[in-house]
Amino acid sequence: MTTVLKADAYKQLKKEIKCRGIKNKFIADKIGITPNYLGLILNGKRNLSTDVAIKASQVLGLPLDIFLTKS
């Protein structure tokens, strides 16, 4: 199985949210997941899915490739 997302993509997402001073609840609501689930992702307890990465990049205005592995 090919891995599309970087193993530490969740760390990049966590960094972007923290740097912008945005509440996790706000981001979770915009992405369409619960704040609890986002917290699990940001703490490495759950894998960041491709779907969540795409939505997060749209919400935060980030290029999707910051989450993607180099091929």
Given this model, what pLDDT does residue 36 score? 98
Give me the helix-helix angle, 35-42 and 24-31, nearest 10°.
110
Question: For 37-51, what is the mean pLDDT?
Answer: 97
Flag whether the pTM goes above 0.85.
Answer: yes
Q: Specify whether the CB–CB gap between 31 and 56 falls below 8 A.
A: yes
Tell me the domains of the chain and their CATH numbers.
Answer: 9-66 (1.10.260.40)
pLDDT surpasses 90 at 41: yes
> For residues 26 and 32, what is the distance between their CA atoms, to the nearest angstrom?
10
> For residues 13 and 9, what is the distance between their CA atoms, to the nearest angstrom?
6
pLDDT surpasses 60 at 1: no
Length of the chain measured in residues: 71
pLDDT surpasses 90 at 44: yes
Backbone angles phi and psi of 69, in degrees to 5: -75, 155
| Mean pLDDT, all residues of the chain | 95
Question: For 57-68, what is the mean pLDDT?
Answer: 96
